[in-house]
Amino acid sequence: MRVKALVIIAVAVSLLLGCEDAPPPIQGPGTRAEAPSPERTTHTPEPAAPGPQLTLDEADFKEGEASRDPFRRQLGQAPPDERGIRCEKGKLRQYGLDELKLTGIVGGGARPLAMFRGPSTDAVTTVKRGDRIGKTCGQIKAILRDKVIVTIQVAGSNKRAERVIPLHTS
């Protein structure tokens, strides 16, 4: 009990002795600490002269090439094509469906994934049902055990066609 009281008193005294108004200056090896001179410590810059007044009207707040909404997603947005399909989230858009190779199918459960590879790359892109792929923005309708069925909209009409991409084996 007596040791505990001595420890508490020692901690209190060290805290009281360590409290100062300004922290001690940092000393490097072989240097002496100097008190900061009053002329070096406070310097207030003079206020700058006001610039020209800028007037804004409603046209300055419209979104365009010079100004855009920073909270709206900009990357990957594509305008609708002649069929009216907006394919901003399409994968492998630089390739036609004939050029893509179906290299693998993962899982056979409720959410299978298909793995495609473009002709000029070794990178594999995974897609799921509902994703859009290729230049034609075909939509993945079904992923089966050995093939993928892609629905594409025929240009110039509202008709849809199905394209079967078989599993590439080699």
What are the structural domains of the chain? 101-166 (2.30.30)
Phi then psi for residue 19, to 5 deg, are: -85, 120
Question: Taking 90 as the threshold, does the pLDDT of residue 116 lie above it?
Answer: yes
Name, of 37-46, 77-86, 119-128, 150-159, the range with top average pLDDT.
119-128
DSSP annotation of 59: G
User: Rounded mean pLDDT of the chain?
Assistant: 76
Least-confidence region, from 32-41, 61-70, 117-126, 154-163 = 32-41
pTM assigned to the model: 0.50
DSSP annotation of 84: -
Kindly report, residue by residue over 92-113, the tens digit of the pLDDT: 888 888 899 999 999 867 899 9
| CA angle 92–95–99, rounded 5-degree value | 115
Phi then psi for residue 142, to 5 deg, are: -150, 145
Other beta carbons less than 10 A from residue 9's beta carbon: 10
Question: What is the C-alpha to C-alpha distance for residues 115 and 123, in angstroms, rounded to an integer?
Answer: 10
Residue 76's pLDDT is 47
Kindly report, residue by residue over 3-28, the tens digit of the pLDDT: 888 788 877 777 766 655 666 666 66
